[in-house]
Structure 1
Amino acid sequence: MQIPEIDEMTIARLRKAGLRPTRQRRELAHLLFSECTEAMTAESLHTFAQRHGVKVSLATVYGTLHSFCDAGLVREVSIDSRRYFDTNPDNHQYFYFEDERRLVGVSQADAGIKVMPPLPEGRKISRVDVVVRLRRD
């Protein structure tokens, strides 16, 4: 496959997040925000990038994803000691397909937790992850 054409919106998104648009960041951001339809692990993004002709090491993919997390561009969700990176950083729900190890965001706004339990004193909610685990009958 051909290396993707990087659009100006991808570069602007990186700059707005305070990130220098290096080649690796531009290429991985383009794939994440334009080509991916679900949350990905670093390993699956690395494989996806290689299939698209992007030459990047797995260590660079990890580093890039963590810099994207720190900048608020992606959200990290841990399930069964696997880390998934989602391009929707807002609080929302997920379906986790256990047999496929896939994490898919659910955009239905009225799903999820309706009432939160009382919070311990001195604490506030930093984020809410609701994961619905699915398996075949």
Structure 2
Amino acid sequence: MTTKRSYSVLIDQLKDAGLRPTRQRLALAKLLFEGGNHHFTAEQLHAKAMDAEVRVSLATVYNTLHQFNDAGLLREVVVEAGRSYFDTNMDDHHHFYVEGSGELRDVDRDDVVLSTLPSAPEGMKVSRVDVIIRLDDAKD
């Protein structure tokens, strides 16, 4: 059950990120941010919205996810061309991607050790390093 207080927190988060707290943004934010960290594709979030009787188009879900990403409320993780997940965990971390099931799992940043990185091109700096470790079913 969502209380006025929890909606108030979501409204403040959206406003602080420079986003107008529309009914659809609030409903999607509630689905995204309640109950801990999650990884969602746009299609998965759309299905969850339909199950929760939130009437929103898939295009609106895509637009909202990209707006939240641009505002720094979540992170887009591209696992392959045309397949992105949106991660509500904004802490510095990496991912396991289970290719058979399409599941994305967090990997603590301290569990991945990189000894060196190439120098960034002139005039640029490294802002973040994302590691995706691809997994196959061990039975193969």
| TM surpasses 0.5 | yes
* Partner residue in 1 for 2:79: 79
Query: Structure 1 counterpart of 2:100, which letter?
Result: D
Please, which runs of 5 or more residues in structure 1 have no aligned partner? none
**Percent pairwise identity:** 50
* Partner residue in 2 for 1:94: 95
* Cα displacement (A) at 1:114: 4.1
Trace 1:1-137 onto structure 2 (pairs within 5 A): 5=2, 7=6, 8-35=8-35, 37-81=37-81, 82-106=83-107, 108-112=108-112, 113-137=114-138
Alpha-carbon displacement from aligned partner over 1:62-86 (angstroms, at most 9, x marks no partner) = 1100110110001111112201111
Query: Structure with the greater relative contact order (CA < 8 A, sep ≥ 6): 1 or 2?
Result: 1
* Cα displacement (A) at 1:43: 0.6
* Cα displacement (A) at 1:109: 3.6
Q: Which runs of structure 1 show a deviation greater than 6 angstroms over 4 or more consecutive aligned residues?
A: none
Distance 1:125 1:23 in 2: 37
Q: What TM-score do the two structures reach when normalised by structure 1?
A: 0.87
* Cα displacement (A) at 1:111: 2.1
Please, which runs of 5 or more residues in structure 2 have no aligned partner? none
Q: Over aligned residues, Cα RMSD in angstroms?
A: 1.7
Contact conserved, 2:75 with 2:90, CA < 8 A, in 1?
yes
Q: What TM-score do the two structures reach when normalised by structure 2?
A: 0.85
